[in-house]
Amino acid sequence: MHVRPNAKGFFLKRGQIGCLLLHGGTGTPSVMRSMGEFLAEKGISALGKRLKGFGTSPEDWLKTTHLDWILSAEEGISKLEHHCKDVFIAGLSMGGALTLYLAAKHQNRFTGIIPICAPAGPSFLSGFRKRFQPLAKEDEAQPNVGANDIKDQSVKPGGYSHFYPSLFLEWADLVEKASDEISAIKCPVLIIQAKNDHVVNPRTADWIYEHVSSDQKELLWLESSYHMATIDVDKEIVFREVVDFIFKVAE
């Protein structure tokens, strides 16, 4: 199995506070790399996990399900736990939904979580499935428009240029699981959402905020970025706020 050079995972080992970084539904760890480097500069260990089937070939991708992606993320958690006392998760887009699911499933393993432009809730699911279920019957490759939802046109997101509707329905299954269990989340949460997101309705962030059971929860709105917030124009705001949140919670 050949992993593309810009798609490889990374582990920047620093202090006893660590953060697992999860890419989105067609992406690679490259969209979390700059964030990881920023965290590492501040002394926070950062592990960018490549989910199974990503960054290799569409054929590999088609052999996977959302259960494989969950297992990949859980492998990252275990690896980070061997090095760190406090473990956080930050996920972009579908990686944000995976973040919510993991926090609900493993309630005592995380010091805090950061879902970024994360899909969640019945409103998102109904529209998402309605769009992709008819396409999944033929399951022909579709242009990956969502990955290019970036205001800064000089940025290239990497990842797959096309997606398969059947795999998007796998992501929908994951979103459904996360949404069903979201009230089990009790650790501190920083929800980050772009106001001009063209992939996930920004109101989804309000739904997440209302349904997590965390006593400590914050909602950060990004004024300029589009969906791919970790590599877009507000990325430095994202990085600074994440670092501030992590140090505040881990005290």
Any catalytic annotation for residue 227? yes
Q: Which of 23, 30, 227, 234 is catalytic?
A: 227
Say how far apart CA 88 and CA 115 lie, in whole Å. Answer: 11
Closest-CA residue to 90 (of 76, 75, 78): 76
Which one is catalytic: 30, 45, 72, 93?
Answer: 93
Closest CA to 161 of 178, 145, 183: 145
Pairing state between β 45-49 and 10-12: antiparallel
Q: Which of 86, 197, 232, 234 is catalytic?
A: 197
| Known catalytic membership, residue 93 | yes
Q: How far apart are CA 9 and CA 114, in angstroms?
A: 19
How far apart are the C-alpha atoms of 48 and 55, rounded to whole Å? Answer: 13
Helices 66-81 and 94-105: crossing angle in degrees, nearest 10, is: 70
The CA distance from 28 to 39, in Å, is 18
Task: Return the active site residues.
Answer: 93, 197, 227
